[in-house]
Structure 1
Amino acid sequence: MRMSFRAAVSVLFFVNGMTIGSWAPKLPTLMSRLEISESVAGLIVLCLGAGSMCIMPVFGAMVARRGSARAVAIAAWVSAPLLMLISLAPDVWSVGAAVFLFGGFLGGMDVAMNANAVAVERNRSRAIMSSCHGFWSMGAFAGAAGGGLLIQSLGEMAHGAVIFAITAAGLAVALPALLQDAPAGDAPRAPLRLPRSPVPYLLGLMALTAMIPEGAILDWAAVYLRQEMGSSLAVAGWGFAGCAATMAVMRFLGDAIRHRLGAVTTLRVSAVIAMTGLAVAGNAGTAGLAIAGFAMAGIGIANMVPIAFSAAGNMPGLAAGMGLSVVTMMGYSGILLAPGLIGWLAEHASLGPIYLGLALLLLVPLAMSRLARSADFEAGQP
C-alpha cells in the first residue's frame, strides 16, 4: 500500500529533526576532543548558520523552478552522511568546513520539505504544518536524547553511522511517495525576484526571534547542564530533549488548537508560555529544574514557527517557495547564527542570564502577532 503524501513528508520532518537533534550532544563532545573554548565552539556553530544562509536560497529557487520533491531529495541525500564527516574531521578547520555543509544542506532540506508540506495542505484543504513540525520535534527528541547515550556508549563515529543508517532507510521509503508539485513543463515560469511586500520579511523577523531561543537550547543547553551544573553527558542531552519532547506533543495538538483559537491568539499564548519557561531555566539552581524550564519553553515555542511558515507559504502573488524561503532563511538565521554569539557571551557571563535575556526577546513576535492572520485559511485558500 502506497504511503500517503502527508505520511511521506512527515517522515522527512522526522529525519531532519533527528539529524539536527543529534547535533545537540555532539557539541560538548567536539569541545572536549578538539580542546576548544566556548568562543571557538561558538565559531563552529556560526559555520552551521553560515552554511544554511548560503545554501538555503539556492533550494528556495530550486523549489520555485523544479518543485519541492526534487529539491528535498537532493538536499536530503547530500546531508545524510555529513554527521559522520564531522566525526572524522581531525581539527577545527576541517570540522568547521564539515559543519558548514551540514548546516547548509539540512537547511536546504528544511526549505524544500516545508514547501512540500504547504503543497500537501493545499492538496488536502487542511492544515498539517504544526503536526509536520511535531514529527520534526519527535525526531529532534530522539536524536538529542539518544545521541548522548550513543556517544557515551559507542563513541562519536558509531553515533554518526547509526544516524546515517536510520536516515537512509527513512529517505528510501519516503522520497518516492512525496507529492510531486513540480510545475508543468509548459507552464510559464514566475520571476524569482525577492518579494517586494514587507510582510514576508516581517514574518521572517517573527520566525527569527522565535527560533533564537530554540537554537540557544539546541546548541547550549547541554553545555549549560554539563559545565555549569555538573551533570553527566547523558543527562546534559536532556536539556534539548526535554524541549523537543514538549514541542512534539504541542505540535501534534497545534493544528486543532489553531483551528479553534485562530493563529493570532495561538501565537500570543505560545509566546507567554515560552517566556515563562526560559525564565525558569535561566534561574534554575539544579539540572532537573533547568530541564523542566526548557520543557516548558518547548510548549510555547512549538507552534510559533509553524504558524509563521504557514502564513508565508499561503501568501498570494509570489513564486512557489520564494516567500517561504525568505521566512525560513531569516528564521533559521536565528536558530543557527545567534547561538554563535551566545558562545562568545558565555565566555564573559554564565548561560543562565543569557536565557533570561532570550525570554525578553519573545516580546517581538508577541507584538507582531497580527501578521499571522494569513496562516488561517479555509478550503485551502489563504
Structure 2
Amino acid sequence: MNDLSSPAEAKTRRAFITPQRIGVSLLFLMNGFMIGAWAPKIPEFAARLELSEKSLGVMILIFGLGSIVMMPIAGSQIARFGSSIVSKVTAVLLTPTLLLLSLIGSVWSGAVALFLFGGLIGAMDVAMNANAVATEKGMRRAIMSSCHAFWSLGGLLGASTGGFLLERIGVLPHALFVTVVAAVMIAVAWKMVLQDAPHPEERAAGAGRRLPSSPLPWLLGIMALFCMIPEGSILDWGALYMRNELSASLTLSGFAFAAFSFTMAAMRFAGDLIRDRFGAVNTLRVCGVIAMLGMLTIGFATSSTLAIAGFALAGIGISNIVPILFSAAGNLPGMAAGVSLSVVTTMGYSGILVAPSAIGFIAEHTGLGSIFAGLSVLILVTLLLSSLARHADGAHH
C-alpha cells in the first residue's frame, strides 16, 4: 500500500521525539514520583495516626480500593472528553494530596485522604495510558514502554529523595517540595500533551455505564493480571524470601528488588525499539519465556547470587509485557480506548494490590520459593494468549 501522506506527516511519524511524547512522558514521571514520595512517608503516617500493623494494612487496602473504584470512572470520562483533559484534571487534583496526607490528624480523615490519593493515582494512570496510545497512533511508532520506564524513574526519584528529605527537613517541608516539583512537571507538560478529542462512536461507547461485552479487554486484563501478580510478589516478598529462605544479608536482600527494578527500567527504555523492530507478539513471547525462566530461577535458587540473577531475569521478562498489553487495549477495534484500558488497568493493578496478601497466607504452608516457581504458570497462560498482543501494532502500523 502506498503512503499518500504529506512529507510533513511522514516527517512527524519518523520523528523519534515530539512535544506530545515529552508531554505524556512527564505525566508518567509525575505520577510515579508521587507514589515514590509516598512510600518513605508510610512509617511516619502510621506513627502519627497510631496505627497498628493490621490497621496500616487496612489503610493500604483503602488506597488500592480508591484506585480500583476510580479507574473505570476515568475510562468513561475519557470516552466523553478525551484523554488529555482527564489526564490534566486528575494530575492537578493529585498534586496537593501528599500535602493533605501530611496534615490530617485522625484515622477517618486519613482513610478518606488515602482513598482520594489512590483513586486519583489510578484515574490518572488510565488517562495517561490512553494518551500514550493516542500519541503512538499519531507518531506511528511504539512509545508505551518508555512511558512506563519514566513512571519507574519517577518512583525511583520520589523514593530515593523522600527518605533523605524527611530526615533532613521534616514532614511538611518534604510534602511542599513534592507538591512544587509535581506542579512544575504538570506546568511544563501542559501545552505539550496531545490534545485528543473522542470520536462520536467513542463518546457513544463511553456514555453508557455498561462494561464491554467483547471478551477481548477481559482476556487482555487476565494477561495483565497474571503478569502483575509476579511483579507485586517480588516487590512485597522478594527481600523476605532472600532473608528467611536463602539466609542472605540485609544488603543482599535489598538487591532482590533492586536487580528486578534496574533491569525492568532499562528494558522499558529499550522496549519500544525492540517492539517496532520485531512486532508486539514476538516481543511479548520472548519476554514471557525470559520471565518464566526468571521466576523458576528464583524459586529453585540454592544461593542468594543465583536468586538475584533470577530477579534480574524476571525484570527483563516482565518489563515490556504490560506496556504491550496496554497498547493492545487502547487499539481494540470498535471500542473506546479509555473504556477498554480501564478494564485492563483495573484488572492488572488488582494483581499488585490484592495478590501479595494471599501469597502471605499460602507461604505459611508452602514457603516462598515454591510460590515464586509456581507463579511462572501464570506467565505461561499469558504466553498461550500472546496472539492477542497483535492489536498493539495497530497503534503504528
**TM exceeds 0.5?**
yes
Partners in 2 of 1:160 and 1:282 — Cα distance? Answer: 39
TM-align CA RMSD: 3.4
Contact 1:42 1:344 in 2 (8 A): no
Partners in 2 of 1:303 and 1:331 — Cα distance? Answer: 14
Counterpart residue number, 1:203:
220
CA shift at 1:75, angstroms?
1.1
Counterpart residue number, 1:270:
287
Of 382, 387, 390, 1:370 maps to 387
TM-score (normalizing by structure 1): 0.84
CA shift at 1:246, angstroms?
1.9
The higher-RCO structure (CA 8 Å, 6+ apart) is 1
Secondary structure of 1:135's aligned partner:
helix
TM-score (normalizing by structure 2): 0.81
Given the alignment of the two structures, is residue 75 of structure 1 paired with residue 90 of structure 2, yes or no? yes
Counterpart residue number, 1:143:
158
For structure 1, which segment, 326-335 or 275-284, has the greater mean C-alpha deviation from structure 2 after superposition? 275-284
Contact 2:136 2:143 in 1 (8 A): yes
Of 47, 61, 72, 1:57 maps to 72
Partners in 2 of 1:146 and 1:237 — Cα distance? Answer: 17
CA shift at 1:356, angstroms?
3.8
For structure 1, which segment, 68-77 or 362-371, has the greater mean C-alpha deviation from structure 2 after superposition? 362-371
Secondary structure of 2:250's aligned partner:
coil
Contact 1:42 1:341 in 2 (8 A): no
Contact 1:267 1:304 in 2 (8 A): yes
1:1-382 aligned at under 5 Å gives the runs: 4-27=19-42, 34=50, 36-37=52-53, 40-90=55-105, 93-151=108-166, 154=169, 157-183=172-198, 189-192=203-206, 193-221=210-238, 231=250, 240-281=257-298, 293-342=310-359, 353-377=370-394, 380=396
Partners in 2 of 1:87 and 1:345 — Cα distance? Answer: 35
Contact 1:46 1:340 in 2 (8 A): no
CA shift at 1:358, angstroms?
3.1
CA shift at 1:175, angstroms?
1.9
For structure 1, which segment, 211-220 or 96-105, has the greater mean C-alpha deviation from structure 2 after superposition? 211-220
Amino acid at match of 2:156: F
Amino acid at match of 2:346: M
Partners in 2 of 1:154 and 1:348 — Cα distance? Answer: 44
Partners in 2 of 1:278 and 1:25 — Cα distance? Answer: 28
CA shift at 1:286, angstroms?
7.9
String of CA shifts for 1:113-165, please: whole Å, max 9, x gaps: 01111111111122211121121122223234444444455555554443323
Partners in 2 of 1:313 and 1:218 — Cα distance? Answer: 27
Which has the larger Rg?
2
Amino acid at match of 2:101: I
Amino acid at match of 2:130: A
Shift in CA distance, 3/263, structure 1 to aligned 2, threshold 3 Å: closer
Question: What is the aligned-residue identity percentage?
Answer: 53
Partners in 2 of 1:174 and 1:226 — Cα distance? Answer: 42
